[in-house]
Amino acid sequence: MNQDQLAPTQLAGVLTPVITPLNDDRQLDIDSLERHVGHLLDAGVQGLWVNGTTGEFYGLDVEQRARVVGECVRIADLRVPVIAHVGDTSLALALEQARAARKAGATMVSVLPPYAAQFSQDEIKTHFRALAAEAGPVIAYHMPQIAGPGLTIASIVELAADGVICGAKDSSSDVLWLRQLINAAADAGVEIPAFTGGSAVSDLGYFVGAVGAMSSTANLVPRHLVAQYEAARRGDWDETRARQRQTDELMAALRLPGRTSPTAIAGIYKFLLAALGRIDGARGVAPLRDLTEDEQERLVVGVIGLIEKLDDVQPSPASV
């Protein structure tokens, strides 16, 4: 069996956007990655999504990104699919990333539209078609904060009907957009497994029809998010909402003044994971600065206890 055979007919569940642990030389820390991914798998996550924004893909070259993919494939050992984000600033660069990711064993790839420049819908669709021809059907990554408007809903449905797109991740936290995509796919009779990427709207995403979550907070509290997904799947909306309130509490505690960008958040996650002993160090890709002592103390005091409580997965307030 290989990763291609492992790929489910329809992706679903909690697919963790894995952080990329780095050593002091800012190279991949394989031992830390193995411990961290092992914790995620033990927690029951249904997939690994690597080299995304939380994985700091923008600071890694082709070889480094492929190595992350290969190590995650090795560690997962066919237990869950490994999805590699291969987006880049041009088609040639994205194709290079896609070839390397698939060679490293990725189940499938996910793609941001080309960023740092503006392209028409026809140009972006050509981009996706070329990548799918090279690497198989792709997951559309919708994050307008980085890549602009990207594909329209109509374009995503068209590409899914043509077998180019096999799923979508929405990291805009725009639940209206997500609902419109899900409804448009249903109206067209096209299957597009849709995931919410916004940790603050997981409950709403499930309610409008998302099949799972690719939330960065799964790095910290995977058992909690798996429990929320399972509650939503069985229609227990009281527990789903109760767990969302707990996630909201965690997210509020994670906020540091001036450190709210996705880049900074990845560094915050790494510091907390190091403090919990799940990885060895908190280095981010350059030029991300390390947290100050005051920032570290604030996180230790305000967040560590919350993570330990949520990752223990006791019955939610709605169930007791």
Of 150, 153, 206, 202, nearest to 180 by C-alpha is: 153
Strand intervals (E) in 87-203: 108-111, 138-142, 165-170, 194-196
Q: What is the pLDDT, as a whole number, of residue 280?
A: 96
Summarised one tens digit per residue, pLDDT across range 277-319 is 999 999 999 898 899 999 999 999 999 999 999 998 754 444 4
Strand intervals (E) in the chain: 13-17, 47-50, 82-85, 108-111, 138-142, 165-170, 194-196, 212-213
Q: Which residues contact 150 (CB under 8 A, 6 or more apart)?
A: 112, 113, 124, 140, 142, 143, 144
Summarised one tens digit per residue, pLDDT across range 7-25 is 544 699 999 999 999 999 9
DSSP 34-49: HHHHHHHHHTT-SEEE
Q: What are the tokens at 186?
A: 């249903």
Q: How far apart are CA 141 and CA 137, in angstroms?
A: 13
Q: What is the pLDDT, as a whole number, of residue 313?
A: 74
Q: How far apart are CA 127 and CA 119, in angstroms?
A: 10
Residue in the block written with tokens 């050593």: 23
Q: Computed from CA positions of residues 225, 274, 75, 29, in that sequence, does the dihedral angle turn out positive or negative?
A: positive
Q: How far apart are CA 146 and CA 53, in angstroms?
A: 9
Q: How far apart are CA 287 and CA 106, in angstroms?
A: 28
Summarised one tens digit per residue, pLDDT across range 106-147 is 999 999 999 888 899 999 999 999 999 999 999 999 999 888
pTM of the model: 0.93
Whether the pLDDT of residue 89 is over 70: the answer is yes
